[in-house]
Amino acid sequence: MKPDDAAFVHAHLAALQLSLERQSVKFYCTDLTSVGALTREQEYWLNQELYKKSYNILQDDFFVAVVFSEEHFKAVVSNYIVPSATPSHEFVHFNYFTDQAEALQWLRGIKKGQDTALIQAVS
């Protein structure tokens, strides 16, 4: 069941608050396989509000793995057009998947690479 806009906003703000409590989580996996495509209003809110708020709090890049159903993924690839008014946020990095395990592996790989870079810098 697709959440209404209020529930959508509440869930994302709660996730951001949890991120703060857990030492600034920067790796997210969003599984849309059961809810389907976001509404235009939800996409707009993410782009105009949440991503900026997240960056202002984290003060660092963050990574989002988005998991779609096969059908949704094919529709996105075939039909999606980025609106010209949609801002590009260089601090949020997306990758898209049809398999949650692959999405989580991508996030683990990024984190491992960052951890390695930090260890080398300290040595």
Give the pLDDT confidence score for residue 34 in this predicted structure: 86
The total domain count for the chain is: 1
Domain that holds residue 86: 5-122
Where does the pLDDT of residue 118 fall: very low under 50, low under 70, confident under 90, or very high at 90 and above? very low
For the chain, give the number of residues: 123
* 3-state DSSP assignment of residue 93: strand
Give the pTM: 0.76
- Structure confidence by residue, pLDDT tens digits, 12-69: 999 888 888 877 788 989 888 888 888 889 989 998 999 999 998 888 899 999 998 8
Model pLDDT for residues 66-109, shown as the tens digit of each residue = 998 888 777 666 666 655 555 668 899 999 999 999 999 999 99
**Shortest CA distance to 42 belongs to which of 2, 95, 82, 94?**
2
